[in-house]
Structure formats: C-alpha cells, structure tokens
C-alpha cells in the first residue's frame, strides 16, 4: 500500500512512500516449498497459479503429494525454508490448492483489522491529536501480514508491518523495506542529513548506513532552499545483520528504478552507483527488523515500525525586523514563536530581570509550527506590532499599546495569500508609517502599510512574478534621502534591491549580484552608522556567508564571501549594530550545529567565524538578535534541536555567554 503525492499544510512532502518487499530469513535455508528443489519448483508453480496463473491437474497432484507430505515436518528431515522476498499480492485472497491447506493463500483479506474492507480507513484521536489510519490485511502463503499507515494532524507519518504465522517451525526474521521517495517542496534540492547526538553531517553520495541508538542517531531530509524538512526516527528493533545488512540507504531517484522497485530476487538492496545525492531528487530506504522466535506468541503479530515527523519552516529566515524586539516601556525584550500546537507564544523579560514563562497570544492551530513572526516598535501610542501568517495563508496582525495586554489577531489579507509566510516589517518615519513586505503566492512582492496609526492598507503588488512565493525578504530604513530599502533573492538566484525615497513610489527590483544564491533564501540587512553604510548578509549556494554593502548612498558592492563553505545555503543570519566599539555582529548556525559569530569593529574588515555555543542547534535554523540598552547587552535567541528557546548574550562587550534555555 503506497502513499502518493502527499502534501502537509500546502507543502509538498511525499512523492511516493511504498513497501516493495519484505525479506524473510530462516536459521536454515531451503526446503520442499522453495525454488531449487523438485518439490519447491512444483510449489512455485502452484503459487503462480494462486497468483493468477493456471496449472494442470497432474502437476497439482504432485504438488499436493510432495509439499503436503513435508508440510509442518520440515525440521524432522533437517530441512529449512527461504530466504524469501515477499510482496503483497494486490487482489482478494483466494485458495487454489486446498490440499496444501493454509499455505497457498495470497492476497488481501477483509476482517476486523480493516473494518471488513480490503483497504481499511479509520479516524481517531489520541492525546488531542487527530489521526487517520489506512491498512490492509494480506496473506502471503503461511504468513498473515498487516500493513498500516498513520497520518496525524501535526505532521507525523508512521507505518508498521506486522507478521504472524510460520512457514516451518524454525526461528526467523522479517525485514520490511520501506521506499520513501521524498519530494519536499518538489523533487529537486533535497538533501539527507545524519544527526548523531548533536553532530550534523550530510551524505554527498549514495550510501548504506546503520543506526546507533546509543548516539541517538537519526536522519533529516531537507529542501536546502525552503528549509522545510522531515525527520526519520529509528526504532530499537533487532537491527541489521548478515542477511539484511543495512538500516537505511540513500539513493538518487531514477524513474526506471521506481517502475521495478525490487529487481534483486532474494538478494540485498542494490541501486548503489555512488551517484551524488546532495541537493538532488533522492529516495530514502528504511529497513525494519522483527525477530520471530518459534513458540513465542506464534499467533500474535510481531511488528516493525517506521516513524517520520514533517517539520515545516522552523529554519526559515524571518527578516530584519525579526521575532525579537526591544520595547522601551519597562525596558522589555520580547520574542514570539509558533509552537507545535499552532499558538503564537510570547517570551519576555523586563528591567533586565529573568525571562518570564511564555504565554499564548492566540488559540491553538492558528498558525503553522515554526512559522515566521516579525515584531516592530511603533512610536505612536507606544505600540508593539507583530505580523504573521495564519494556517489559512492570510497575514494577521497582533498588537499592544502602552504595555496593555496584547490584542488580535486581526486578518489583513485574503486566505492563501502568502505560502510559507516570509514577511519583513519596518518603521518608516515619514508620515509615521509602518510597512510590511512579502512575496505572494504568484511570486510578486507586495506591500501592506499603515500611516499615523490609521487602518492597515493593501496588499498591493509592485513587481512582476519573479520571486519564490513566501521567500525571505529583509528591509531597513536608510537615513540618506529617507530611503526604505528591501532585498530578496529572485528565481534567477540574484539578490535584488527594491527601494523608495522620500515616501515616493517604490522602485525596482534591480539585480545587484550574480546568480550565486538560493532563490528565496535567507537574507538580512542593517544600517551601519560609520560611513552611512547599509550592509546585507546571505549564504550562497556553496555554503559561504557573503556580504553586500553600499556607502553614502553609492552603488551596491559585492558580494564578497567571508567564510569557508561551512553553512547551509540560504540559512538564517541575525545581524545587529552594537554601539560599543562601533561593532557589527552577525550570528548563524553552522553545519556543525553550533552558533557561529562574525563581527567587525570601527568599519575594519570582518573577523571570524568563531563558535560561541556547543552543538545542539539546527543548521541554518531560526536565530534573532537585538541590542538591549541596559548594561549594554546584545542578546540573541534561537531554538534548539529539543525545540526549546535558548538565549545567548554579552554585556559591556565582554565575551558571549550561554546558551541558556528560557523555558522548561
């Protein structure tokens, strides 16, 4: 039973998830029912008839005489069975040879496990999470097979294969091979990471691998441009052995291999040609292992399990305004995020005290887990405003005034307006405007705005369809000529600039880089007062952090790489001006899962990178920073692999401290 063309919350995840084979190994090979012996050849003919062919009466009589004689008595004669490469026969089960009894029954069966349907479908709720179960009950000779898929509202995909029954009275193992053709945000640009404890590595070429429960080894399939991903968690079953020699395998997709997914007869998985699987269309194989000791619950199912968790947008860039903002009243620092429950949660501290426990600002299932939120301080009425994209794809606003309770959310656009939800939000002093930019579902940059604290207006598109929908975008107020400047990466991989001056109409886009960057990838910008510079940082397709800049409103320069290729292309970077020593500080999470720092002082060359944390954070993942005036602090927040919020900080330009979790 296969899952085809699956999406989760509008994001394409599944090309085809299937179970091409269940390999079976007994302690001793061979037997009267196996190919290679006279009786086995005749039994094979009988099985072929059971699978839809025909066989004459004399042959059937011989099968009945020979196989029937040995049935259930193989071990008495020192015989074994298999090995087998079992496949579910996709038709109702029938019984062609009653004299062989139960052993020649093949195909699907209706019973209580499947609600008396050939394909069972059940909806249920567990721990307040909605699930769908799809299953089939099949017969493969003496074996009873139960194959099930489970899909949850929060993005979990689980499968299990259960087997009961024996071909002979001998210990044996079953090894289901799941073929997982991931197409996360499309078939291209997918990459497989292996995560052991806090160490992240990716496979460059086709590979076979084994699990390591002691090191908490697991796998991540990620789209390197959009940062959407899925985790594959191993289960603590028997593990690889001399017959099934792997727990996972990664292969490059080929259509010919899909049309015949198991051409290896009784042998091990092949297709390993050492092809590149970095940023490619990949197939992930997961192998289960279930051991059946004869006499131990022979009439009960023995199960092997597969566990996948889809993880959307946790790593996407949020824009220069970011989810972290200093709020002058009561010297508050506020941070917003969307948890797995779909609520927007607020974390905050005041007067440089400890961080408070988070509180929810919305109902459950309001927004997508890991979705982007941008905050900006709006001087009129001392407002703090937040924009995010709800589950329905509409932009919403939340706000508070004079430090009163938060209000909203209020919908500002039509549903399905922004997939992914890349938004940037900036205060523009002329006419006391607050302006938000985003790329809509048609690939056009749009603007939403309010003036003098009036109602929000827009959205209004002002570009052609040249950008990835929901892609990252950053904006910064530039004092010279009262400009508001925005940068984003187009479909052609070039950084593009859009701008307005003295509150006149927006202009652009204009390309300011070669085509070296992932479309829609993370980009951040900030104003640097020395020499009136505007600087932007982004990570190119090779994994190097690059800088682009302009001075005194002259032409843009760069990009210039600042690092080795140690970072995920398109990953997030946090950038902030730190007044002490006129420093510019940038933070990002490298491929090693550590937070890395780059900096410059007094407009001298950039320095670093230097790791300022242990491993434990998703490469390219969410990170934001802000200057906090009390004690001259620079603070950064990020989300760990354990999904907790962590803070790092420095005071009076001393060394960085942390990370420290700010929630239980």
Residues 321-347, mean pLDDT to the nearest whole number:
90
Note the pLDDT of residue 56.
Answer: 37
Note the pLDDT of residue 225.
Answer: 64
Nearest to 321 by CA among 368, 390, 373: 373
- pLDDT of 75 strictly over 70: no
Distances (CA, A) of 333 to 90, 153, 397, 642: 60, 33, 19, 23
The whole-angstrom distance between residue 62's C-alpha and the CA centroid of its chain comes to 56
400 against 321, higher pLDDT: 400
Note the pLDDT of residue 97.
Answer: 40
Interval 162-190: pLDDT, tens: 998 877 888 889 999 999 999 998 898 89
C-alpha R_g of the chain:
30
Decide if 21 contacts 262 (C-beta within 8 A): yes
Domains and CATH numbers, the chain: 3-29+81-311 (2.70.98.20), 324-661 (2.120.10.70)
Interval 405-443: pLDDT, tens: 999 999 999 998 887 668 999 999 899 999 999 999 999
Helix (H) or strand (E) holding 572: none
The per-residue b/e assignment along 297-309, b for 16 or more CB within 10 angstroms, e otherwise, is: eeeebbbbbbbbb
65 against 149, higher pLDDT: 149
Note the pLDDT of residue 419.
Answer: 72
The average confidence (pLDDT) of the chain is 87
Interval 556-590: pLDDT, tens: 999 999 999 999 999 999 999 998 999 999 999 99
- pLDDT of 611 strictly over 60: yes
Give the pair of three-digit tokens for residue 311.
């993880």
Note the pLDDT of residue 89.
Answer: 84
Note the pLDDT of residue 421.
Answer: 64
Residue bearing tokens 């919403």: 396
Note the pLDDT of residue 44.
Answer: 36
Residues 459-476, mean pLDDT to the nearest whole number:
93
Note the pLDDT of residue 491.
Answer: 92
In the chain, % of residues over pLDDT 70: 88
Nearest to 221 by CA among 193, 249, 202: 193
Could you tell me the pTM of the whole model? 0.63
DSSP 214: G
Note the pLDDT of residue 300.
Answer: 82
Q: Is 382 left (phi over 0), alpha (psi -120 to 50) or beta?
A: left
Neighbours of 248 (CB within 10 A): 24
Give the contacts of 55 (CB within 8 A, at least 6 positions apart).
Answer: 45, 46, 48, 49, 63
- pLDDT of 69 strictly over 80: no
Burial class (CB in 10 A: 0-12, 13-18, 19+), 611: middle
In the chain, % of residues over pLDDT 90: 66
Q: Is 406 left (phi over 0), alpha (psi -120 to 50) or beta?
A: beta
Note the pLDDT of residue 223.
Answer: 82
Give the contacts of 446 (CB within 8 A, at least 6 positions apart).
Answer: 437, 438, 439, 440, 458, 459, 460, 461, 462
Residues 75-79, mean pLDDT to the nearest whole number:
58
289 against 82, higher pLDDT: 289
């Amino acid at each position: 039973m296969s899952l085809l063309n699956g999406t989760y919350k509008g994001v394409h995840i599944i090309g085809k998830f299937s179970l091409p084979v269940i390999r079976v190994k007994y302690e001793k090979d061979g037997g009267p029912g196996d190919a290679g012996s006279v009786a086995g050849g005749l039994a094979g003919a009988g099985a072929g008839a059971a699978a839809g062919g025909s066989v004459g009466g004399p042959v059937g009589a011989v099968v009945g005489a020979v196989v029937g004689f040995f049935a259930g008595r193989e071990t008495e004669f020192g015989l074994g069975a298999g090995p087998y490469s079992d496949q579910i026969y996709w038709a109702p089960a029938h019984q062609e040879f009653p004299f062989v009894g139960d052993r020649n029954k093949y195909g699907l069966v209706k019973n209580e496990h499947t609600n008396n349907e050939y394909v069972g479908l059940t909806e249920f709720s567990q721990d307040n999470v909605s699930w769908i179960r799809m299953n089939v009950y099949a017969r493969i000779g003496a074996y009873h097979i139960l194959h099930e898929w489970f899909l949850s509202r929060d993005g979990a995909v689980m499968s299990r294969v259960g087997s009961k029954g024996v071909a002979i009275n001998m210990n044996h193992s079953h090894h289901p091979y799941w073929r997982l053709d991931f197409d996360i945000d499309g078939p291209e640009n997918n990459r497989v990471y292996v995560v052991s404890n806090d160490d992240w590595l990716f496979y460059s070429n086709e590979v076979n691998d084994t699990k390591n429960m002691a090191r908490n080894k697991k796998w991540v399939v990620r789209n390197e441009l959009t940062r959407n991903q899925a985790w594959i968690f191993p289960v603590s079953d028997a593990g690889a052995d001399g017959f099934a020699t792997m727990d996972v395998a990664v292969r490059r997709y080929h259509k010919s291999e899909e049309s015949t997914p198991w051409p290896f007869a009784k042998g091990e998985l092949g297709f390993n040609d050492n092809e590149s699987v970095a940023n490619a269309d990949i197939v992930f194989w997961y192998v289960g292992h279930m051991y059946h000791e004869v006499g131990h619950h022979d009439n009960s199912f023995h199960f092997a399990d597969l566990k996948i968790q889809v993880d959307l947008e946790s790593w996407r860039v949020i824009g220069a305004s970011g989810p972290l903002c200093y709020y002058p009243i009561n010297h508050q620092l506020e941070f917003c995020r969307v948890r797995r429950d779909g609520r927007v949660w607020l974390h905050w501290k005041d007067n440089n005290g400890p961080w408070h426990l988070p509180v929810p600002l919305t109902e459950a299932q309001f927004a997508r887990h890991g979705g982007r939120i941008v905050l900006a301080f709006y001087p009129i009425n001392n407002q703090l405003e937040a924009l995010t994209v709800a589950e329905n794809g509409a932009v919403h606003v939340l706000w508070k005034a004079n430090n009163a309770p938060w209000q909203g959310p209020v919908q500002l656009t039509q549903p399905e307006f922004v997939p992914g939800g890349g938004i940037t939000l900036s205060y523009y002093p002329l006419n006391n405007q607050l302006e938000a930019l985003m790329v809509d579902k048609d690939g056009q940059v749009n603007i939403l705005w309010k003036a003098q604290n009036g109602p929000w207006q827009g959205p209004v598109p002002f570009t052609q369809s040249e950008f990835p929908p929901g892609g990252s975008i950053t904006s910064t107020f530039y004092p010279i000529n009262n400009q508001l400047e925005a940068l984003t990466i187009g479909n052609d991989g070039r950084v593009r600039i859009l701008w307005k001056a003295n509150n006149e109409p927006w202009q652009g886009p204009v390309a300011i880089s070669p085509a070296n960057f992932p479309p829609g990838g993370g980009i951040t910008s900030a104003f640097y007062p020395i020499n009136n510079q505007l600087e932007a940082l982004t990570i190119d397709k090779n994994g190097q952090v690059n800088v682009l800049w302009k001075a005194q409103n002259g032409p843009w320069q760069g990009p210039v790489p600042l690092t080795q290729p140690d970072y995920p292309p398109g990953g997030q970077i946090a950038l902030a001006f730190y007044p002490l020593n006129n420093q510019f500080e940038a933070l990002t999470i490298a491929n090693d899962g550590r937070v890395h720092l780059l900096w410059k002082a007094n407009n001298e060359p950039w320095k670093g990178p230097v790791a300022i944390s242990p491993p434990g954070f998703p490469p390219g993942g969410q990170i934001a920073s802000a200057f906090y005036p009390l004690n001259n602090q620079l603070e950064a927040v990020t989300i760990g692999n354990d999904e907790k919020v962590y803070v790092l900080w420095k005071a009076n330009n001393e060394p960085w401290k942390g990370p420290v979790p700010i929630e239980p």
